[in-house]
Homo-oligomer: A and B are copies of this chain.
């Protein structure tokens, strides 16, 4: 029985309006009515992605596109920047696609150091770098602009940047920074239900893809491009979430993108202040702390599982008790989506109310 509000780092709380938009009528995906919906989203998406390249709609989770990017873009060797659960997994996924791949690995909570990346790329071994901008498992945001500066010195190396939990939270100027593939999902800061991934591909990445064998069909970037030119998707798309996307994009531009970024920064600061006030610490260095969620180090050794359970059952608020190997050693609070200072302060007050029981 879902009688609680989601403050986990995705899926996050979905607004009534967004839910209602899912019930708009479906249509044939080769019909002019679908093309109209696609085109209306496209204009707004290119603006939000800060790109002149097409923005594609993939009926999948982000992992589908993350795998697809590796299949489309590498034939030499992939360098996977690893700093948490999701970025770590990308190495395994690359190998499972039959691609040679190496790790540039740091401890969970640490960031990818642009200088170390530089040394790795200087070997000339790689043709693709994978990076998770905002490691959701650790609440850590990599220094993307500095990383892209390094990559700009290696024109033969393409970049795939997962912005699943940072997209629309902070400014990520795709074209200006020279990102080749940027991808995100519907259920994080866009605050839609899961089931739709969004991604944008650079011209030179299309050129590379054309030369790569074994791309398949479902995630083939060239198929996406060919269909995009007709205002369509290669395969039958998840129309309810595309209706939802259109609704959400209109809301984002009503609020204003700049204002949205500021709001997320402010709400994130409220959570950080609570963390300090209680004597907790952040898992990552403050400088690299995510703006979309907070990963709290359990330095006070509270009963995280009990705290999370009681908050959900008594207060009807759901935060996360830590991911994978740092479960219980951390807990995570999302400020993504439609949150306000009222809703975040309410959450923090309710947490305050029960915290003493678990210390």
- Interface set of A (CB-CB < 8 Å, partner B): 1-2, 6, 8, 10-11, 14, 19-20, 22-29, 33, 59-64, 67-68, 71, 92-93, 96-98, 185, 187, 193-196, 213-220, 234-241, 318, 320
Contacts and interface: CB of A to CB of B under 8 A. Distances in A.
B6 A218 contact: no
Given A33-B1, A214-B97, A60 B237 contact: no
Copies in the complex: 2
Contact of A239 (B193, B218, B234): B193
A311 to B, nearest CB: 14
A116 B213 CA distance: 32
A61 B235 CA distance: 6
A241 B64 contact: no
B240 A195 contact: yes
A6 B22 contact: no
A8 B96 CA distance: 39
Contact of A23 (B6, B19, B27): B19
Nearest to A240: B193
Contact of A63 (B93, B214, B235, B241): B235
5 contacts: A92-B217, A93-B217, A195-B195, A195-B240, A214-B214
Contacts of A1: 33
A11 B239 contact: yes
A10 B185 CA distance: 26
Contacts of A67: 216-218
Contacts of A33: 1-2
A235 B213 CA distance: 25
Contacts of A320: 28
Contacts of A19: 22-23
A47 to B, nearest CB: 25
Given A63-B235, A217-B93, A11 B23 contact: no
Contacts of A193: 26, 238-240
Contact of A8 (B28, B97, B214, B239): B28
A61 B232 CA distance: 14
A43 to B, nearest CB: 19
A117 B243 CA distance: 44
Contacts of A27: 2, 6, 11
B318 A28 contact: yes
Nearest to A90: B217
Nearest to A14: B26
Given A59-B60, A240-B240, A241-B238, A187 B26 contact: yes
Contacts of A92: 217
Contacts of A241: 195, 238, 240
Contact of A194 (B29, B217, B220): B29
Given A23-B22, A28-B8, A239-B193, A97 B216 contact: yes
A23 B20 contact: yes
A14 B23 CA distance: 10
A193 to B, nearest CB: 5
Nearest to A217: B93
B96 A187 contact: no
Contact of A59 (B10, B59, B236): B59
A96 B209 CA distance: 13
B60 A239 contact: no
